[in-house]
Amino acid sequence: MMKVNRRDFLKVGGALGAASAMTPVMMASASEADISSLPRVKQELVAPPFVPAHDQVATGGPKIIEVELSPVEDKRAIDGDGTMYNTLSFNGSIPGPLMICHEGDYIELTLKNPASNIFEHNIDFHASTGALGGGALTHVQPGEQVMLRYKATKPGTYIYHCAPGGSMIPYHVVSGMNGAVMVLPRDGLKDRQGNPLRYDRAYYIGEQDFYVPRDAEGNFMEYEEHADAMADVFDVMHTLTPSHVVFNGAAGALTGDNAMTANVGESVLFIHSQANRDSRPHLIGGHGDYVWEEGSFVDPPLEGLETWFIRGGSAGAALYTFRQPGAYVYLSHNLIEAVELGALAIVVVEGEWNHDLMTQVQPPTIMTA
């Protein structure tokens, strides 16, 4: 199998390629805290839309949260038509798993790149500080592993993504190598008056743009290996026009039996990330009661939003308390991207209908006048 090195793809990498190839000088400093006595907690990461078990309000002091990621290079169906695409991912899920900690905790990542892979990978945590978000310290060739620890100093929702250098940065990100970290305030989420906000469930929706080449007849093409697909995929990427925009790795991934669920009266936190393009999450039939649109939990949440905006390269969070049962559509309110390209999910809510909030006064009937 062909080994692909980032140095082969630095032709347009310029400063980013050069920067990520630098090895920063690591010097002991007076600011290095003694964290040897901090408790260690292993966080079992789970495939989105599910989130790892966590406390909304921190108990005790700062902890070291141990997590493990492993890049997966494979090929999978990304829509209901069976379109096959060569994907890259963290731990096999697109997006990669959500990590959760509290402000002041440390995240300690072990990144293991299996020897069977062909690519070099690394990780840039937008929640971290320094060394290209850890990207400069985490390059691993196939068969290598690396450990990185960073302090989560800013509460909010942040993406992470692979950034091996040059053209491989967008290629790995739009092949699926992105995920999110939620850094909760130690005393939990709050409204603008400082009152506590709690959720009964949380879901993580990772939006992904894919760029599948087409043949002369307009049919999507399938390639055996990344190395075969790459040149054609770059041609599509350079149009800036995705063939697919999906939630959680494939069109329909969060519908049918895999729809998200909730009950009337429950508050649900929806964390939404887009590592590469802008998005406009909207809950048809509901609202964003409290929305941290730009992801920072230091800022007070916006209230009562109809649609919110997730900037490419960021994650945000929206809290909604369901008041009515039924099927809700959670989508990107670029409706072409939602309905035609796949950026659409379903939330099935059970409970009692509230006729005061809505009632069908007259069902569809033949007009009388």
Query: Is 177 considered catalytic here?
Result: yes
- 282 is known as an active-site residue: yes
CA 255 to chain centre: 18
* Closer residue to Cu ion in complex, CB, 162/305: 162
Catalytic residue list contains 138 = no
- The β-bridge relationship of strands 40-42 and 64-69 is parallel
Q: How far is the CB of 142 from Cu ion (least distance, A)?
A: 11
Taking contact as CB under 5 A, which single stretch among the options 52-60, 172-180, 253-261, 351-359 is the one that binds Cu ion?
A: 172-180
Span of 10-18, 137-145, 161-169, 183-191 interacting with Cu ion by CB under 5 A: 161-169
Pick 121 or 151: Cβ nearer Cu ion = 121
Please pick, from the candidates 10, 69, 152, 162, the single residue that binds Cu ion as defined by CB under 5 A: 162
Residue 237 has what DSSP assignment? H
Catalytic residue among 87, 102, 105, 161: 161
Stretch that binds Cu ion, among 18-26, 159-167, 252-260, 338-346 (CB under 5 A): 159-167
Catalytic residue selected from 126, 139, 226, 287: 126
Interacting residue with Cu ion among 172, 272, 277, 280 (CB under 5 A): 172
**Is 66 annotated in the active site?**
no
* Residue 238 bears catalytic tag: no
Dihedral angle computed from the Cα positions of residues 249, 337, 283 and 307, in that order, rounded to the nearest 10 degrees: 120
Q: Nearer to Cu ion by C-beta: 177 or 341?
A: 177
Min separation Cβ 141 and Cu ion, Å? 11
Looking at 117-125, 127-135, 195-203, 212-220, which segment touches Cu ion (CB under 5 A)? 117-125
Q: Is the dihedral of CA 350, 355, 357, 359 positive or negative?
A: positive
**Residue range at the interface with Cu ion (CB under 5 A); choices 37-45, 115-123, 249-257, 300-308:** 115-123
Provide, rounded to whole angstroms, the least separation between the CB of residue 161 and Cu ion: 8
Q: What own/partner pairs with CB < 8 Å and gap ≥ 24 does 35-42 have?
A: 35/62, 35/64, 35/106, 38/62, 38/63, 38/64, 38/106, 39/63, 39/64, 40/64, 40/66, 40/108, 41/65, 41/66, 42/66, 42/67
The dihedrals phi and psi of 226, each to the nearest 5 degrees, come to -55, -40
Q: Report CA dihedral (237, 239, 245, 250) to the nearest 10 degrees.
A: -40
Q: How far apart, in whole angstroms, are the C-alpha atoms of residue 238 and residue 295? A: 29
Does the annotation mark 126 as catalytic? yes
The distance of closest approach from Cβ of residue 89 to Cu ion in the complex, given in angstroms and rounded to an integer, is 9
Decide if residue 121 touches Cu ion (CB under 5 A): yes
Q: Is 226 a binder of Cu ion (CB under 5 A)? A: no
DSSP state of 166: T
Indicate which single residue of 58, 169, 174, 177 sits in contact with Cu ion (rule: CB under 5 A): 177
Q: Active site includes 306? A: yes
- The residue (of 223 and 309) whose beta carbon lies closer to Cu ion is 223
Q: Which of 48, 145, 60, 67 is nearest to 106 (CA)?
A: 67
Task: Label residues 335-360 b or e (16+ Cβ within 10 Å = b).
Answer: eebbeebbbbbbbebeeeeeeeeeee
Reduced to 3 states, what is the DSSP secondary structure of residue 71? strand
Task: Give the residues lining the site for Cu ion (CB under 5 A).
Answer: 121, 162, 172, 177
- Active-site residue numbers? 121, 124, 126, 161-162, 172, 177, 282, 306-307, 333
